């Protein structure tokens, strides 16, 4: 009698940052792929990025978005992992040679959220008292909020979500501005005191969506990942990323967006603001969702004509001076 030896499952290695939010997002991707491909084993490999290690310095002063992706990208290039799961807003718009953005998943609410200390439970962003201390690590949020609420005091805040919330609850801040999507994914949706209207704060490029990066020539992995892509989110985010790429903006630049999709019509709104909130240009373009990246480039050119380039050059100069 001959015994039948079953062949081992094909193993696909998923790369993730070690943060709580990153792991929640990566395990969700793992679960979705496992449901679609039960004959493949998807295993998670974690890595610490430079951005995870430097928690006491403002992001604008320590580099670009690659802070949260470079180690994972090196892992893919060195064949240690097959793909990496990112918060799309952390993924640079220009990827290393040989890597590609293979998949964009369905977006959570991309808006910013106000989280308040218990003493301000009866307040909204526009009714916080003069001098209230608002924590944010984003120049994009800072610039827009300074524009609308110059009477508030803004203070940088770093650390993971639990650390930031602990600082708020301890009274170091009166309020925080955080991504609504991150709070929802961590089961902390009850901490969202107010979803900030887009008229006050346009969100970050890609905020609320996950971007999955892999080797450009790995067509089998790309084919697997397409099973969990969300085309409407993809179109919106590709327009946003093209807009940001054209303006050469990074996480340290106050650039905000909003996209709306009605059938096949995509409307992209973008803003470029000075850090002090004094100078601000904003406009919108509309067109076919199939022309998403073309719309992003069109909006970038439109804002450049209105003075966006001068605002950005001033910001880059200030950052280089370390101010």
12-63 per-position pLDDT tens digit? 999 999 999 999 999 999 999 999 999 999 999 998 765 444 444 444 443 4
Q: Which two tokens stand for residue 103?
A: 């998949």
Can you give the pLDDT at residue 62?
Answer: 39
Placement of tokens 């430097």 in the chain:
54
Any idea which residue has 């970050």 for tokens? 204
Contact (Cβ atoms closer than 8 angstroms) between residue 140 and residue 244: no
Give residue 43's pLDDT.
97
Q: How many CB atoms are closer than 10 A to CB 70? A: 18
H or E, element range at 266 = strand 265-273
**Residue 240 has which token pair?**
């946003």
For residues 34 and 42, the answer to whether their CB atoms sit within 8 Å is yes
Q: Among this protein's residues, is 264 annotated catalytic?
A: no
Give residue 234's pLDDT. Answer: 98
Contact 201, 144 (CB under 8 A): yes
Closest CA to 267 of 244, 295, 242: 295
List the chain residues with pLDDT less than 50. 1-6, 51-63
Cβ contact 192:175 at 8 Å? no
Q: State the Cα–Cα distance between residues 4 and 18, nearest whole angstrom.
A: 40
Beta-sheet strands, E only, within 88-149:
99-104, 112-116, 133-135
Q: How many helices (H) and strands (E) does the chain have?
A: 10, 13
* Core vs surface per residue 102-126: b (16+ CB within 10 A) or e: bbbbebbbbbbbbbbbeebeebebe
Give kind and range of the element (H or E) at residue 258: strand 255-262
Order of all β-strands in the sheet with 40-47 = 40-47, 10-17, 83-87, 210-215, 99-104
Per annotation, catalytic residue among 82, 90, 174, 246: 90
Contacts 24+ apart (CB under 8 A), 262-266: 264/288, 264/289, 264/290, 265/289, 266/235, 266/236, 266/239, 266/291, 266/292, 266/295
User: How much is the pLDDT for 65?
Assistant: 55
């Amino acid at each position: 009698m001959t015994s039948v030896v079953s062949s081992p499952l094909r193993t696909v290695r998923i790369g993730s940052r070690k943060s709580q939010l990153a792991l929640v997002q990566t395990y969700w991707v793992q679960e979705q792929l496992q449901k679609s491909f039960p004959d493949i084993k998807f295993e998670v490999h974690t890595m610490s990025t430079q951005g995870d290690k430097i928690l006491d310095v403002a992001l604008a002063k320590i580099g670009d978005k690659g802070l949260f992706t470079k180690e994972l990208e090196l892992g893919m290039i060195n064949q240690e992992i097959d793909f990496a799961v990112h918060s799309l807003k952390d993924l640079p718009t220009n990827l290393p040679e040989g890597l590609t953005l293979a998949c964009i998943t369905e977006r959570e609410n991309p808006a910013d959220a106000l989280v308040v200390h218990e003493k301000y439970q009866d307040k909204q962003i526009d009714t916080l008292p003069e001098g209230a201390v608002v924590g944010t690590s984003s120049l994009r949020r800072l610039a827009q909020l300074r524009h609308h609420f110059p009477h508030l005091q803004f203070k940088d805040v770093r650390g993971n979500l639990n650390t930031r919330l602990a600082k708020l609850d301890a009274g170091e801040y009166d309020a925080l501005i955080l991504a609504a999507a991150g709070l929802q994914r961590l089961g902390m949706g009850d901490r969202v005191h107010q979803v900030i209207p887009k008229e006050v704060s346009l969100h970050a490029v890609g905020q609320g969506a996950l971007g999955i990066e892999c080797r450009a020539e790995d067509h089998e992995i790309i084919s697997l990942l397409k099973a969990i892509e969300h085309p409407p989110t993809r179109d919106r985010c590709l327009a946003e990323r093209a807009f940001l790429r054209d303006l050469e903006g990074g996480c340290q630049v106050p650039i905000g967006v909003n996209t709306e999709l009605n059938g096949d019509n995509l409307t992209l709104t973008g803003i470029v603001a000075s850090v002090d909130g004094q100078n601000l240009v904003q406009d919108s373009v509309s067109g076919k969702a199939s022309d998403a990246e073309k719309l992003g480039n069109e909006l970038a050119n439109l804002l450049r004509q209105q003075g966006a380039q001068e605002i950005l050059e001033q910001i880059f100069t200030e950052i280089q001076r370390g101010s």
